[in-house]
Amino acid sequence: MVVRTLGFIGLGVMGGAMCANLVRRSDLPVVAFDRVAAALDQAVEVGADRAGSVAEVARRADVVFLSLPSIVQVEEVVEEILAGDDRPQIIVDMSTSDVNGTRALGERASEAGVVFIDAPVARLRQAAIDGTLLITVGAEREHFDTVLPLLSTMGSDVVHAGPLGSGQVIKIINNMVVFQNINALAEAMAIGRASGVDGKVLFETLQLGSADSFQLRNAAMDSLVTDEYAPKRFPTLYAIKDLRLALTLAQEAGIHAPGATQTMELLERTRDAGYEDEYYPVMIKLIDGRG
The reply to whether 25 and 153 lie within a common domain is yes
Q: Is residue 107 part of a domain?
A: yes
Residues 26 and 110 in one domain: yes
How many folded domains does the chain comprise? Answer: 2
147/229 same-domain check? no
pLDDT in tens, 58-95: 999 999 999 999 999 999 999 999 999 999 999 999 99
Beta strands in the chain (DSSP E): 6-9, 30-33, 49-50, 63-66, 90-93, 115-118, 121-122, 133-138, 155-162
13 and 79 housed in the same domain: yes
Global pTM reads 0.95
pLDDT 10s digits, 16-61? 999 999 999 999 999 999 999 999 999 999 999 999 999 999 999 9
Q: Domain for residue 26, yes or no?
A: yes
Asked if residues 287 and 270 have their Cβ atoms less than 8 Å apart, the reply is no
Q: Residues 6 or more apart from 231 whose CB is under 8 A from it?
A: 277, 278, 279
Q: Examine residue 1 and state whether it is found in any structural domain, yes or no.
A: no
Q: Please say which residue of 142, 163, 184 terminates a domain.
A: 163
My answer on whether 227 and 147 are in the same domain is no
163, 180, 212 — which closes off a domain? 163
Spatial distance between the Cα atoms of 244 and 72, rounded to a whole number of angstroms: 14
Examine the pLDDT at 2 and tell me if it is beyond 90: no
| Structural domain contains residue 234 | yes
Task: Choose one of 132, 163, 194: the last residue of a domain.
Answer: 163
